Amino acid sequence: MLAQLTDRGVTRFAIVGHDWGGTVGYLIAALAPASVSAVVVVEEILPGIDVDITEPGHDHYPAWHGPFNRAPGLAEALVPGREPAYYGTFLRQSAGPAGLDAATEQSYLAAYDTPGFLEAGLAYYRTRDADIGDVRLFASNPIVTPVLAIGGRCAMAPPSRTGCSPSPAMSPALCSNGPLTIPRAGARRVQQRGRAVSESTPLTTSPH
């Protein structure tokens, strides 16, 4: 990704990363701190950071999907032909009590119904050990980039009241504009409370 940005002449930028994109943003900031002006992490706990999912997110987040996707051959055998049931169940559970409207859910399912999508998604879950190693490599030297962590109140990773992120590699001192918790939002908070998310993001990214 860094090489592609460089090829396009982009040398200074802010990163807004949702879910796994938050980990990607963290690693890019760690690798190229001079290039990254700010990082917004939306609903992500970095791989290898062991924290409990707090209430009420614990009651809504589908913790089953990680072990299911990491089991070799299991998803490949059970998901093809059943994509709406598999992805739809995950989307509805992770959305929390606010839920997703039918049109939004259908847009997700349409995006997921593309050749190679299942394989690409499973590959993410199955590189967990390598991802943990990458995060730990940088954890002893916290990034200096300003960070804003955003989480849904009913999701996996609502930001800590005492820190900007569940990760010790993102120092609480970096959260000049956060953390920010979106009430009643689950793991799909951009779709559920998009205005609250979009209005908060420039506070972190624009001054830099």
Give pTM, 2 decimals.
Answer: 0.72
**Per-residue pLDDT reduced to its tens digit, 6-49:** 999 999 999 999 888 988 998 999 999 999 999 888 888 888 87
Mean pLDDT throughout 78-88?
Answer: 95
For residue 135, the Cα-to-chain-centroid distance in whole angstroms is 14
Report cis status (omega within 30 of 0) of the bond before 207: no
- Domains, the chain, in order of start with CATH, read 2-56+131-205 (3.40.50.1820), 61-126 (no CATH)
Whether the predicted pLDDT of 99 surpasses 50: yes
Q: Are 42 and 156 in contact (CB under 8 A)?
A: no
pLDDT > 70 in the chain, percent: 69
Q: pLDDT tens digits for 152-197? A: 655 555 444 333 444 444 443 344 445 454 444 444 444 545 555 4
